[in-house]
Structure 1
């Protein structure tokens, strides 16, 4: 997998949030022109994008802010049993510390942190703009 894409309204806030989660900003770019509409099917698009890299360097998260055309629909508050792509799960070294840091940026736990059979502590959180992500701490492996 090369990357997962998330469309946001506030690119700077999303970059700050995912940086706090441990991802590194690889770069920011503008995406526009006739070629880009042929890829996405959205003609005359103007997008500012930021590519974030996971700490292991194997995965990326592409954050995009559309300047044009107007946003077509909003799935940010959809419940977890909605059809389609819904969330990305990240492994963290210390879930309590991660939640404390992300809560300062507005993150809230969807329900509660649970222990999954002594293997993981995990939860879903709503991040910037209500984006749903999961975080999981593998038990017995503090980093």
Structure 2
């Protein structure tokens, strides 16, 4: 098997640019979601976290 078989999380500085890159490769994009609140602070270990998240899925239905 060649290529990247799977990835779960990627942290980026420019979400729109990276999302556009994956869409150009044929991935399907979800609507953006905003992550914030006590549960995110607890998971990340920082206070006051605000993040945007987009998922991309292969057009054949394979996730990420």
Q: Please confirm whether the aligned pair reaches a TM-score higher than 0.5, indicating the same fold.
A: yes
Gaps of 5+ in 1: 61-143
Question: Are 1:25 and 1:51, in contact at CA under 8 Å, matched by a contact in 2?
Answer: yes
Number of aligned pairs? 58
1:42 maps onto 2:46 in alignment: yes
Higher RCO structure, 1 or 2 (CA under 8 Å, sep 6+): 2
RMSD after superposition: 1.5
Equivalent residue for 2:59, pick from 39, 55, 62: 55
1:18 maps onto 2:22 in alignment: yes
Q: TM-score normalized by structure 2?
A: 0.77
Structure 1's consecutive aligned runs of 4 or more residues displaced over 4 angstroms after TM superposition are none
Gaps of 5+ in 2: 1-6
Which of the pair is proportionally richer in helix? 2
Distance (whole Å) between structure 1 residues aligned to residue 49 and residue 56 of structure 2: 21
Which of the pair is proportionally richer in strand? 1
- Matching of residues 63-102 of structure 1 within 5 Å: none
Secondary structure of residue in 1 paired with 2:9: strand
Which structure's CA Rg is the greater one?
Answer: 1
1:4 maps onto 2:5 in alignment: no
Distance 1:22 1:33, change over 3 A: same
Deviation at 1:39, TM superposition (A): 2.0
